[in-house]
Amino acid sequence: MELPESLKGMTPELLEALIDNPYECPLVIDVNGIVRFMSRYNEKIYGLTQNEAVGRHITEVNKNTKMHEVLKTGTAQIGRPMRLGNRQRIVARIPLRDRQGNLIGVLGKLMFHQTEKIRDLYFQLEVLREQVRYYKKEVDDLRSAHLQWEKIVGDSPLMIMAKKEALKAASSDAPVLLSGESGTGKELFASAIHYSSKRVEGPFIRVNCAAIPQELIESELFGYEPGAFTGARPKGKPGKFELAHKGTIFLDEIGDMPLSTQAKILRVIQEKEIERVGGTRSLKVDFRVIAATNKDLASEIQKGQFRADLYFRLKIFPITLPSLRDIKQDIPKIAYHFLSCLREKREKAPIAFSKEAMEVFLNYPWPGNVRELRNAVERAIYVAEGQEIQIHDLPKELQSFGPMLQKRPPNETLRTTLDVAEKNCILEP
């Protein structure tokens, strides 16, 4: 067959260099699937010499080939992953046609040798995709970052001390350990620290260690490779630490984390590297960790339920948040803060608390702390009929902590109650 005019000026050396090069490692089959040309650079990949490969069917040279599929479809396959030799590579399978358009063979060639770079790019894209989802959810918080501290209501000495410690922590990049009973606002403090730190433009990733099943916690934290376990996503999934790259990861209820996972968390915090479940290599991540617990971790260490080395690694900035019963002077301010925030949920919501209702708030021990107080205010907003929230608008378990004045029998008038009280005072010795 005569060469096209465009190729007639090429020397045999140039033609050979064009066809047989180490960057594409081409292989050509005819319409019957017989190998008609194989680059000498493919010999190591297939374990056959050129002379041994030429004349054989392509499936004899490579049992995993897809080139014969292109013979059936006539459609090119570009950028397909394929394992050749002992490495994953990206290949192209291109149908070859004569000048009349008839299919006469298929060309197979490499597109990328260094698939690790493509894999890294894929990982980065996966992380960015997941981060975008978090950014969308967090955008309102980002826009109001300067209001984070205003959400932490209270000016009692214990609350002022906690805020000061949190502000100091925000100016550093060291781990923070928030301790306190459930409902004391640990997540609120963690959020304020993040949005006041140099990582404010990065993601704030929340992880409730107590809410993740033990068998899934490592895949959630560190991510997993495709096919790492039954039910895994075909493309794998980045973990929470990857998503926290350039930002902060908040490990809530860390005291409930399994001991085996604690050891891995310690290594990740120290080395800033993670390895996905089912993976074989480490990924560098840049994050700041804030942990929180409602347990006494020192006591948990004595019981063998928490690692001492992880405890001391996290305890660079320890901050203890006070319970609501320890900051009773802040209760009125916090209650009115919730009332103001929640009034939008009801058109004709009350605007104040009665003196007796506020006395209940001050007397009640609040085992659920600020969270319980918020729930009580929210309920009262919906059931109150006037402009003031009364004792009977509060949950039943709170009502018994009201003033004695409210405990008169239903048929007893206020005048009668006052007369009895006055009589008792006169008769007292």
Q: How confident is the model at residue 410 (pLDDT cuts 50, 70, 90)?
A: very low
- Model confidence at 405, in pLDDT bands (50, 70, 90)? very low
Higher-confidence residue of 418 and 60: namely 60
Assign 180 a pLDDT band (cuts: 50, 70, 90): very high
Euclidean distance between CA atoms 204 and 248, whole angstroms: 5
In this structure, are strands 273-274 and 204-208 parallel, antiparallel, or unpaired?
unpaired
Please say whether the beta carbons of 29 and 93 come within 8 A: no
β-pair type (273-274, 283-284) = antiparallel
Q: Which of 119-123, 181-185, 208-212, 270-274 has the lowest mean pLDDT?
A: 119-123
Sign of torsion over alpha carbons 99, 103, 105, 109:
positive
Q: What is the pLDDT of residues 148-174, one digit of tens each?
A: 788 899 999 999 999 999 999 999 999
Does the structure show a pLDDT above 50 at 369?
yes
**Angle CA(64)–CA(70)–CA(76) in degrees, nearest 5?**
110
Q: Which of 49-58, 78-87, 235-244, 398-407 is least confident?
A: 398-407
Cβ pair 340, 375 in contact under 8 A: no
Report CA-CA distances (Å) from 22 to 28, 42, 58, 135.
15, 8, 20, 44
Of residues 184 and 90, the one with the higher pLDDT is: 184
Of 229, 231, 249, the C-alpha closest to 239 is 249
216 falls in which pLDDT band (50, 70, 90)? confident
Mean pLDDT of the chain: 85
| Helix axis angle, 331-342 to 355-363, nearest 10° | 120
CATH architecture designation of domain 118-322: 3-Layer(aba) Sandwich (3.40)
Instruction: Read off φ and ψ for residue 350, nearest 5 degrees.
Output: -65, 160
CA–CA separation, 267 vs 310, rounded Å? 9
The answer, yes or no, to whether residue 138 has pLDDT greater than 70, is: no
Hunting for tokens 């007796």 — which residue is that? Answer: 356
Buried/exposed code over 77-93 (b: 16+ C-beta within 10 A; e: otherwise): beeeebebeeeebbbbb
R_g over Cα of the chain: 35
Beta bridge mates, 238:
223
Between residues 281 and 380, the one the model is more confident about: 380
Between these two residues, 374 and 402, which has the higher pLDDT value? Answer: 374
Q: Is the model more confident about 410 or about 32?
A: 32
Query: How many C-beta neighbours within 10 Å does residue 10 have?
Result: 13
Q: Write down the CATH number for the domain with range 13-113.
A: 3.30.450.20
pLDDT of residue 279 exceeding 50: yes
Q: Do 105 and 28 contact (CB within 8 A), yes or no?
A: yes
Q: Residue 425 has what pLDDT?
A: 55
Given this structure, which CATH class describes domain 325-427?
mainly alpha
What is the reported pLDDT for 408? 45
Domain coordinates in residue numbering, the chain: 13-113, 118-322, 325-427
pLDDT in tens, 234-257: 678 889 999 999 999 999 999 999
Confidence grade of residue 343 (pLDDT, cut at 50, 70, 90): confident
Phi, psi at residue 415, to the nearest 5°?
A: -65, -40
The pLDDT value given to residue 63: 85
Q: Which amino acid is at 4?
A: P
pLDDT of residue 407: 45
> Higher model confidence: residue 73 or residue 10?
73
Whole-angstrom distance, CA of residue 399 vs CA of residue 380: 12
The whole-angstrom separation of Cα 81 and Cα 92 is 9
pTM for the structure as a whole: 0.63
Residues 294-332: tens digit of each pLDDT = 999 999 999 999 999 999 999 999 999 999 999 999 999
Confidence at 390, pLDDT banded by 50, 70, 90:
very high
- What is the arithmetic mean of pLDDT over 218-233? 80
Which pLDDT belongs to residue 230?
67
Q: Residue 112 has what pLDDT?
A: 67
User: How large is the average pLDDT for residues 339-363?
Assistant: 90
29's tokens: 């089959």
User: CB within 8 A of 286, min separation 6: which ones?
Assistant: 245, 246, 272
pLDDT interval class at 406 (50, 70, 90): very low
The confidence score (pLDDT) of residue 428 equals 52
pLDDT at residue number 2:
63
Res 1 pLDDT > 60: no
